[in-house]
Amino acid sequence: MSAAIEIRNLTKRFNDLTILDDISFSIDPSEFVVFLGPSGCGKSTLLRMIAGLESISDGEIWMDQDRLDVLPPGKRNVSMVFQNYALYPHMTVEDNMAFGLKNIKTEPAVIATRIKKAAEMLEMTHLLKRKPAELSGGQRQRVAIGRAIVREPKAFLFDEPLSNLDAALRGRTRIELAQLHQRVKATMIFVTHDQVEAMTLADRIVVLNNTKIEQIGTPIDIYQRPASKFVAGFVGTPAMNFISVASLERTQGATTVHIDGMKPIKTHINYEHLPDPAGTFEIGVRAEDVDVVHESESEVSGTVSFVERLGERTLLYVKLADGRMLIANTDGKSPICAQTKVHLRMNKAAIHLFDAKGRAYHGEAQ
């Protein structure tokens, strides 16, 4: 069982402070949508508004044919998994999972069947008689998810559920959540500030910033074709390189970028798509699209200030002649070390332009 959810012109204000300002979007049945953004952007507030734990100032929330925001939380047919697990310490795992169903007078046989099914799905049948104090952090999170599953809701709401786990356990639990979504086929909304969680879990990502939606798209769209400089800088590790542009020139319909201290770079960006080519621009390029090359092929040279070895790849922090830093990507086995002079070239198809308002312009083929 899953549901379509529609957010219509939603606004949230605390006194004179606007948290969310007139946002609208829809979620398809069985879709896994992640709300991503920095702390304070309103993503958890938005989730709590869907759950009924936070009032709305303006707008509407719909699920299928029902208006959700006029219903009390218990009538919304959603289950929420919190960051802090919210388990009763004096109850066993089984009793924690059963508690909500008992409160709504569910038949004992139905409760037993649902708990058995959820425990098998989450591979925690052997934990049912334990209490929370006897469980690891990952096991407690699994119990919290199991408690949500037994309610058989139309939508699952996850509020940063992995943030209390260590890195290794967070990675394993992330995979378990993805597999769970494939099995239950339910609508899921997941809040996080962790871009790796967003990129690996989501069917679509809603990027929130400064009371507004910056972009909605698939993980690959968000990464490869960011709608704004904020999205480009927020999504991706390391952050995208940004370099100020001296001027732009039309070359056979495409845009050639002139940057002080570099050779001209002919991009794949259509010159006609730029509303004001004489305006202020920056280029953006990710580290994996900046290659170390021979001097004759290069667009710019610099000195390596720092080398970050990540196993499968190596990041080079290259200081250019004017003091700017450019992060380049090279092979994990690269022998390049600090203070080495290197020559760099950018992937023309992967260069983005950002205007003074942060709007993005992309190449025709990426």
Residues with Cβ < 8 Å from 277, sequence gap 6 or more?
A: 248, 250, 255, 271
Is the pLDDT at 214 greater than 80? The verdict is: yes
The torsion angles phi and psi of 79, rounded to 5 degrees, stand at -125, 135
Contact 35, 191 (CB under 8 A): yes
The total of other beta-carbon atoms located within 10 Å of residue 84's CB is 12
Contact 9, 60 (CB under 8 A): yes
Contact 83, 159 (CB under 8 A): yes
What integer pLDDT is reported at residue 366 of this predicted model? 44
What percent of the chain lies above the pLDDT cut of 90? 76
| Mean pLDDT to the nearest integer, 152-173 | 84
What percent of the chain lies above the pLDDT cut of 70? 99
What integer pLDDT is reported at residue 27 of this predicted model? 97
Residues with Cβ < 8 Å from 108, sequence gap 6 or more?
A: none
Contact 331, 294 (CB under 8 A): no
Is the pLDDT at 131 greater than 50? The verdict is: yes
Q: Which pair of tokens denotes residue 69? A: 């925001």
**Measured CA distances, 177 to 14, 79, 119, 186, 318 (Å):** 33, 15, 14, 12, 39
Q: How many residues does the chain have?
A: 366
The torsion angles phi and psi of 47, rounded to 5 degrees, stand at -60, -45
> Comparing 215 with 160, which gets the higher pLDDT?
215
> Which amino acid makes up residue 300?
V
Model confidence, pTM? 0.89
Burial of 244 (0-12, 13-18, 19+ CB in 10 A): exposed
The total of other beta-carbon atoms located within 10 Å of residue 55's CB is 9
Contact 4, 64 (CB under 8 A): yes
Contact 319, 281 (CB under 8 A): no
What integer pLDDT is reported at residue 1 of this predicted model? 63
Contact 330, 274 (CB under 8 A): no
d(CA 131, CA 225): 47
Reported as a single tens digit per residue, the pLDDT across 163-192 is 877 777 788 888 888 888 888 888 999 999
**Measured CA distances, 216 to 37, 110, 182, 212, 365 (Å):** 12, 39, 22, 11, 20
Calculate the average pLDDT of the chain. 92
3-state secondary structure at position 360: strand
Q: Which domains does the chain have, with CATH numbers?
A: 5-234 (3.40.50.300), 241-361 (2.40.50.140)
**Measured CA distances, 187 to 12, 27, 94, 296, 343 (Å):** 23, 8, 25, 53, 48
| Mean pLDDT to the nearest integer, 34-51 | 95
Is the pLDDT at 28 greater than 70? The verdict is: yes
